[in-house]
Chain A
Amino acid sequence: QVQLVESGGGVVQPGRSLRLSCAASGFSFSSYVIHWVRQAPDKGLEWVAVISYDGNNKYYADSVKGRFTVSRDNSKNTLYLQMNSLSAEDTAIYYCASGSVAYNYGRGFDYWGQGTLVTVSS
């Protein structure tokens, strides 16, 4: 079955960096567009970034553009989110999510990881 498992969250000081990972299994990872979505404590869902199946196309929310970088290693079935210049506003649970249609950017996000908590605090 499809499984997405995030890791790398933790407590980090403002201005520092953190890299999240999302390990995928149970499907042909290299054929799927993958998104990052975050959720601040007791808040709603916010789309963060997306990467194409081959890693050649990436899009970001304005709130993270220039600070976050999404990448993937299809040989390792793993997605990454490099987060730089973190601030308290980046405190959230970060989920990776994908659809169920290969090469497709949208139609809803069928599969989600359990999320990893990032806390930005001094």
Chain B
Amino acid sequence: EVVMTQSPATLSVSPGERATLSCRASQSIGSDLAWYQQKPGQAPRLLIYGASTRATGIPARFSGSGSGTEFTLTISSLQSEDFAVFYCQQYNYWPPWTFGQGTKVEIK
């Protein structure tokens, strides 16, 4: 099973600032990585797939990068609606499809 590890657990950022979230895979997964955003009381929303391709309707301030075992989600200028929990997920070696434990982005 591929273990996904996200850091940090919590990120405190001021509106308008940049946020950088990390995700590490326990073995190489190529670019088979997705990022999700989840707000309280809501289902997750797909942001990024293929490590760097934005899903339909996702604003350009969200960008993904990386390959192999190291991945990054960057939010270039945080808006009030962006504060949430973010998860990475690998889909290279399945089953199972595995998620990271999440990074909470909170208002500083």
Contact = CB atoms under 8 A, between A and B. Distances in A.
A84 interface: no
A102 to B, nearest CB: 16
Given A44-B87, A95-B43, A108 B99 contact: no
A32 interface: no
Contacts of B8: none
Contacts of B49: 107-108
B91 A107 contact: yes
A44 B100 contact: yes
Contacts of B87: 44-45
A12 B3 CA distance: 31
Contacts of B50: 107
Interface string A91-108: 000010000100001111
A61 B95 contact: yes
Contact of B43 (A59, A106, A113): A113
The B interface, classified by DSSP as helix, strand, loop or mixed, is loop
Nearest to B34: A108
B97 A35 contact: yes
B55 A108 contact: yes
A63 B52 CA distance: 31
A90 B82 CA distance: 30
Contacts of A61: 95-96
Interface in A49-97: 50, 59-62, 95
A113 to B, nearest CB: 7
Contacts of B89: 45, 108-109
A59 B95 contact: yes
Contacts of B43: 95, 112-115
B101 interface: yes
A44 B97 contact: no
B46 A106 contact: no
Interface of A: 35, 44-47, 50, 59-62, 95, 100, 105-110, 112-115
14 contacts: A44-B99, A45-B36, A47-B97, A50-B95, A59-B96, A61-B95, A95-B43, A106-B32, A107-B50, A109-B44, A110-B46, A110-B55, A112-B44, A115-B43
Given A45-B102, A110-B56, A114-B43, 14 more contacts: A44-B100, A45-B44, A45-B87, A45-B89, A59-B94, A60-B95, A106-B97, A107-B50, A107-B91, A108-B46, A108-B48, A109-B44, A112-B44, A113-B43
